[in-house]
């Protein structure tokens, strides 16, 4: 069976790095690619950043590869994550030989609850100058993210699983998150450590090598994974997955980078590595490993784009990755 992959480059460097990743994926797997539009440029033309057609096709495709949107990012990526029924946001942060990293020993994967918490969207101004936010935490979503995190750790050879929380303060909501995750660990007979998310931020910075998979509530996962991005040497290297029960969306962590868009110098690594996660999701494990190996080889030996201190173009780096494949 040929899987269908929806490709949504979006704005700015999305238009440069997504085609590069599609070329790499085409080299290793027999996928059927469909293209759709979204982002600032679509809003300028039609008044809407995310056409209904793109939403529908993302919900139907086996997987979606997204680049980045600009100003309209929230109007595009939040509905697209919803279109694929995404409940888990998976963000690996790994340091690579050859790339100048603050903590070269970092190999972390954040498994972030992607549907609720303080991102529930339930905010109000209850009186002039007084605003509130409702933090929603359900047992169902907490169990689901914990199950996904423990399974991910087992499948990908990570021994250390940490449950991040702040249940000493948010006793009811994070209490539930923590209890659900501990129950899942107990059912699986899995080892884990629990960590208060603020202290964890410091420990990740000082001793990242002691951690592997970190299961997080929504906001904590957003912040801790950005912190980890800083440990490994930059946005141009970080892939991510938004996983749903049936389909999924893959995207680099970075945005549309208007400061370098159109110059042909964007680092394609984050998007190509997102493509490797997509391959794995569709069951192409060997192909995913090959793509990762090729990216690692190029990061170690060059050519490198300017964000990594080189002077190569997106095209040069993509060609070097494909040559290694």
Q: Which residues bind ligand NAI (CB under 6 A)?
A: 13, 17, 68-71, 73, 77, 235-236, 251, 254-260, 266-267, 270, 305, 307
**235: partner contacted, choices ligand NAI, Mg ion, none (Cβ within 5-8 A by kind):** ligand NAI
- Kindly state whether residue 251 participates in binding Mg ion, applying the rule CB under 5 A: no
Compute CA distances 170 → 49, 184, 222, whole Å: 36, 20, 18
Q: How far is the CB of 262 from ligand NAI (least distance, A)?
A: 12
By CB under 5 A, the residues from 17 to 36 that bind Mg ion are: none
DSSP per residue, 180-205: HHHHHHHHHT---EEEEHHHHHHHHH
Q: How far is the CB of 24 from Mg ion (least distance, A)?
A: 25
Mark whether 198 is an active-site residue: yes
Q: Which of 3, 222, 287, 296 binds Mg ion (CB under 5 A)?
A: 222
Active site residue: 27, 160, 179, 226, which one? 226
Q: How far is the CB of 216 from ligand NAI (least distance, A)?
A: 18
Contact indicator for 83, 60 with CB cutoff of 8 Å? no
Residue nearest to ligand NAI (CB): 255
Q: How far is the CB of 225 from Mg ion (least distance, A)?
A: 7
Residue nearest to Mg ion (CB): 222
| Integer Cα distance of 311 and 172 in angstroms | 52
| Integer Cα distance of 224 and 112 in angstroms | 10
Active site residue: 40, 55, 62, 166, which one? 166
- Kindly state whether residue 147 participates in binding Mg ion, applying the rule CB under 5 A: no
Q: How far is the CB of 306 from ligand NAI (least distance, A)?
A: 7
Nearer to ligand NAI, 13 or 294 (CB): 13
Nearer to Mg ion, 174 or 222 (CB): 222
Nearest C-alpha neighbor of 237 from the set 308, 189, 188, 306: 308
What are the residues whose beta carbons fall under 8 Å from the beta carbon of 134, sequence distance 6 or more? Answer: 120, 122, 123
Active site residue: 119, 160, 179, 182, which one? 119
With H, G, I as helix, E, B as strand and everything else as coil, classify residue 305.
coil
**What single DSSP character describes residue 5?**
E
**222: partner contacted, choices ligand NAI, Mg ion, none (Cβ within 5-8 A by kind):** Mg ion
Mark whether 119 is an active-site residue: yes
Q: How far is the CB of 251 from ligand NAI (least distance, A)?
A: 6
Q: Are strands 86-94 and 161-165 parallel, antiparallel or unpaired?
A: unpaired
| Integer Cα distance of 22 and 20 in angstroms | 5
Main-chain dihedrals φ then ψ at residue 157, nearest 5 degrees: 75, 30
Q: How far apart are the first and last CA of the chain?
A: 23
**70: partner contacted, choices Mg ion, ligand NAI, none (Cβ within 5-8 A by kind):** ligand NAI
Nearer to Mg ion, 58 or 253 (CB): 253
**270: partner contacted, choices ligand NAI, Mg ion, none (Cβ within 5-8 A by kind):** ligand NAI
**36: partner contacted, choices ligand NAI, Mg ion, none (Cβ within 5-8 A by kind):** none
Mark whether 166 is an active-site residue: yes
| Integer Cα distance of 251 and 301 in angstroms | 25
What SS3 string covers 80-146? Answer: HHHHCCEEEEEEEEECCCCCCCCCCCCEEEEEEECCCECCCCCEEEEECCEEEECCECCHHHHHHHH
Nearer to Mg ion, 273 or 282 (CB): 273
- Kindly state whether residue 3 participates in binding Mg ion, applying the rule CB under 5 A: no
Q: How far is the CB of 298 from ligand NAI (least distance, A)?
A: 14
Binding site for Mg ion (CB under 5 A): 222
Active site residues: 119, 166, 198, 222, 226
């Amino acid at each position: 069976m040929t899987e269908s992959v929806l490709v949504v480059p979006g704005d700015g460097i999305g238009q440069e790095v997504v085609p590069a990743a599609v070329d790499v994926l085409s080299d290793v797997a027999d996928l059927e690619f469909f293209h759709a539009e979204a982002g600032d440029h679509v809003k300028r033309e039609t008044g809407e950043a995310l056409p209904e057609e793109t939403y529908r096709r993302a919900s139907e495709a086996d997987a979606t590869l997204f680049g980045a949107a600009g100003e309209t990012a929230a109007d595009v990526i939040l509905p697209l994550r919803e279109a694929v029924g995404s409940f888990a946001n998976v963000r690996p942060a790994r340091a690579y030989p050859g790339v100048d990293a603050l903590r070269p020993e970092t190999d972390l994967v954040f498994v972030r609850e992607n549907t609720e918490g303080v991102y529930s969207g339930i905010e109000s101004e209850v009186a002039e100058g007084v605003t509130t936010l409702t933090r929603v935490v359900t047992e169902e979503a907490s169990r689901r993210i914990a199950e996904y995190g423990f399974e991910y750790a087992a499948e990908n050879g990570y021994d250390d699983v940490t449950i991040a929380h702040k249940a000493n303060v948010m006793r009811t909501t994070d209490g539930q998150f923590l209890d659900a995750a501990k129950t899942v660990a107990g059912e699986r007979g899995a080892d884990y450590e629990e960590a208060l998310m603020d202290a964890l931020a410091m420990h990740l910075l000082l001793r990242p090598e002691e951690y592997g998979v970190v299961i997080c509530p929504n906001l904590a996962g957003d912040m801790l994974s950005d912190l980890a991005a800083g440990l490994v040497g930059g946005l141009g290297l970080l892939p991510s997955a938004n996983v749903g029960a049936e389909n999924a969306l893959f995207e680099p962590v970075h945005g549309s980078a208007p400061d370098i868009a159109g110059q042909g110098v964007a680092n394609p690594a984050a998007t190509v590595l997102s493509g490797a996660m997509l391959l794995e999701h569709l069951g192409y494990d060997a192909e995913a490993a090959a793509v990762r190996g090729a990216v690692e080889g190029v990061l170690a030996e060059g050519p490198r784009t300017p964000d990594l201190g080189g002077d190569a173009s997106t095209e040069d780096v993509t060609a070097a990755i494909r040559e290694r494949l």
